[in-house]
Structure formats: C-alpha cells, structure tokens
Amino acid sequence: MKAIALKSDIYWVGAIDWAVRDFHGYATPRGTTYNNYLIIDDAITLIDTVKYDFSDITVKNIRSVVDPSKIRNVVINHIENDHATSLDKIMELAPGATIYITEKGRKGLERFFDISKWNMKVVKTGDTVSIGKRTLLFLETPMVHWPDSMMTYIKEEKILMSQDGFGQHIASAVRFDDEFVSCESMAELEDAVVDYYANILMPFGPLIKAKIADIDKLGLEVEMIAPDHGIIWRANPRKVLQMYLDMSSGRANLSVPIIYDTMWHSTEKMSLPIMQGIKDEGVECKVIKLRATPMSVAIKEFWKARGCLVGTPTLNNIMYPTVAEFLTHLRGLRPKNRIMGAFGSYGWGGGAVKEAYEEFKRMGLETFDPGLQILYRPSLEDEVKCYDFGREFARKVREYDAKF
C-alpha cells in the first residue's frame, strides 16, 4: 500500500488487516483497517497511529510522503490498542513531536508507555491548534468509544477525523464510500455500519446523539468523515450521521429474529411454527442458531429488530449455556426499546424460560409474558401452540413498534 490523498496534503497512511476474523472476541468476517492520517502543513501532523503489528506499514506509508522525523504533532484521538500501540515507534522517529490528547487519554497512555520523555499537551472540547494553513479543533467524545476518546476537526477542510465513531470493520483495497459502493454496494456498507454500532456502540446511544448535536451546535460543517476503521465518508457523510441519529434514537425494523440453541432439536422444532406464525402476521422473521452463528452476528440481528424471541432448552434447571452467554453479552450492551419473549423445551423441572425472563427484566426490556414451554418434544398439538405464540408475539411487536 501507499499513502492515499483525502485532499491536497492530507493523506491516509494506515494499514489494512485483511486476515483478522476475531477482533477481541468480535467476529470480523470482512477484516478491518487501522486508519491514521498525515497532514502536511507548516507543522506536519499525524492523527492517530495503528495497531502495533502494523507499525512498519504506517511508517512506510508516512515515508512515502515525508521523512517521519519531520512530524511535529501527533494527535491521539483514542488510546485503545488498535490505534495507539504504534505510538512509541512514531515517537522514536519524531522524538520532538508534541502529543495532543485528552486528560483521560494522557492518564490511560501512562499505563501503556513511559510518557515522561514525551511532550504532551492535554486538550478539551473547543480547543484549537494552528498547524499553518489549517486549524485543528478538538471535540471530546467520552465513551465513543472509551473515556479518553475525542475527535479532531480540520476547520479549513471540513474534515472530521472521528476515530472509532462512524467506522466499520471492512478491509478493502479502496478507501472511500463512493469507491466502495461502486465495487461492492451501499447495502454492504450499511450492514457493516450497523454491525459495528450494535456490537461496539450500542450502550452509548444517548451520548452519541448528544455528540452529533454538539457538532451542529459548534456549527461544524462536515464534508468528509474519516474514521479509524474502514471506509472514509467523502461522497455522503450525512448518510452515516443520519444512520447514527436513527440508531441512537431507538429506530428498529418491524422484524423478529428467533435466536436459539437446542440440545435434541426440540427447541429447534418449536422455532419453525413460531417463525411461521410471525411471518403470517406480516412481520419479518429470521431464525438464528447460536452454535452456528458468531455472537456478533446474533447481536447485530437482535439490534436491527424491534422484537426478539429467545429459544432455550433447560439444562440442569437453567438456560442452555450458549443462550446464557448471548444474554450476558447483550446485557453488557445495555439495549433499549426492544420487546422480548422466550420459549423452549424441558424434561422435568424446567427453569430456562423463567431465567430468560429474569434476564430480560434485569435489562429493563419490555417483555411478552409468560413465554412458552413444551415438555420433552413438541407434539402436533404443541406445534399449533407454537404457531399461535408466534402470531401473538408478532402482534405485540407491532403494537410496541407503533410507540416509536
């Protein structure tokens, strides 16, 4: 690869990780990129670094434009390992550079590096620095994605360098949205945005909404959004801003995924008439077996839909372990504005469906009570009960959806 110009004298100098399929436990079937950016101005400025394993690549890309020793400023928008672990390599090459970072970023960075030998300048929202023809404006975005996070806006160019925000895990030979849409599709790009938001940013919806409002309050016109992962939004940055506004405002599809696991196929057998019932009410439905699906895909499918049914057999009086894992994962993401129900087969004491509802209530989600349990194996009569359960759940989802 080589440096790629976003605008005159502003370059992408990042790395493409074509092979990563497990990003700290999150499935990345499309791979990802670690984007960082170089601005050639009176004070040459690097915005973010990359994951340590890709240090040599970013250094090579920087060298294709300028000798790295000439870098005067390094902006660290986010200290997570995938963006900041090459910082020591960069600072070895540009020891006189000043690092611009938030206070929480500085404190966090101390846990990774000996920062005593580096010039550090702590910045907060509204602070600016002139680098010559251009001015950088900083906007703190705590919890989007970590407490340290911030974004950097280049005033004269109207470019927002948004670190994790507005990113997607996509490895591609092209860098920009218009190019990606030409060689792949907008649907593929949108799916990657939703996947990323659901798995990484779901807990922070209200903060995201507030930060987008801040961008407007500060009167920042955004002509390009350059995140630290995936495709850069130059043709249609409003598209991703609107998607984030919709998702952070609780928008969801009138649809229901059935997310289940099964021991001897009984819970699985229940899922099919339930699906038919949902479909016959005119609500879209997908059936997702947890042991056959990456967790992050199940989370994405949950997030897209207004309602979700969880299927779990009872094992030793509790939920099946993969279902418990899914719900634990989901609870950490603090979902809102969704209605839940549960079903499953049991052999004697039961307990899994009850436990699933306890978990839904802990999450503060709306529920469709009391769920459906079937002894051992669904009979033909039980299949009718399953079908009716699906229809009734779909009606409830429709009713609930009308509130939004």
| List of residues contacting ligand FEO (CB under 6 A) | 78, 80, 82-83, 145-146, 164, 228-229
Radius of gyration (Cα) for the chain, nearest Å? 24
229 given a catalytic annotation: yes
Q: Indicate the residue among 162 and 314 with the shorter CB distance to ligand FEO.
A: 162
Q: DSSP letter string over 229-252?
A: SS-BBSS-HHHHHHHHHHHHTT--
> 107 vs 396, which CB is nearer to ligand FEO?
107
Select 228 or 355, whichever has its Cβ closest to ligand FEO: 228
Residue placing its CB nearer to ligand FEO in the complex, 52 or 146: 146
Which residue in the list 145, 355, 357, 366 is annotated as catalytic?
Answer: 145
Active site residue 265: no
Residue 159 · residue 134 · CB < 8 Å: no
Q: Which of 82, 140, 195, 268 is catalytic?
A: 82
Q: Which residue is catalytic, options 229, 355, 366, 400? A: 229
Out of 34, 37, 153, 196, the active site residue is: 196
- The answer to whether the CB of 139 falls within 8 A of the CB of 150 is yes
At its nearest, how many Å lie between ligand FEO and the CB of residue 166? Answer: 12
d(CA 140, CA 153): 11
- When the beta carbons of 143 and 263 are compared against ligand FEO, the nearer one is 143
CB contact at 8 A, 308 and 323 = no
Instruction: Give Cα 47 distance to the centre of its chain.
Output: 21
Non-local (6+) Cβ contacts of 386 within 8 A are: 270, 272, 273, 274, 277, 343, 372, 374, 378
Q: Which amino acid is at 351?
A: G
The nearest distance, CB 34 to ligand FEO, in angstroms, is 8
Q: Quote the CA–CA distance of 340 and 369 in Å, as a whole number.
A: 9
- Tell me if residue 41 is catalytic: no
- Paired sense of beta strands 71-75 and 372-375, if any: unpaired
Q: Are strands 71-75 and 98-101 parallel, antiparallel or unpaired?
A: parallel
C-alpha torsion sign, points 285, 287, 290, 295: negative
- Given the complex with ligand FEO, which of 139 and 315 has the nearer CB atom? 139
CB 327 → ligand FEO: shortest distance, Å? 24
CB of 332 to ligand FEO, least distance (A): 15
Residue with smaller CB distance to ligand FEO, 167 or 378:
167
17, 41, 140, 164: the catalytic one is: 164
Task: Using alpha carbons only, give the angle 303, 306, 308 rounded to the nearest 5 degrees.
Answer: 75
Cβ 318 to ligand FEO shortest distance, Å: 33
| Active-site residue, 196 included | yes
CB of 182 to ligand FEO, least distance (A): 26
Catalytic-residue membership of 83: no
10's CB contacts (< 8 A; 6+ apart) are 37, 38, 39, 40, 154, 157, 159
Q: How far is the CB of 377 from ligand FEO (least distance, A)?
A: 46
The answer to whether 164 is a known catalytic residue is yes
Q: How far apart are CA 386 and CA 75, in angstroms?
A: 56
| Secondary structure element (H or E) that encloses residue 39, with its range | strand 37-39
Question: Which of the residues are catalytic?
Answer: 24, 78, 80, 82, 145, 164, 196, 229
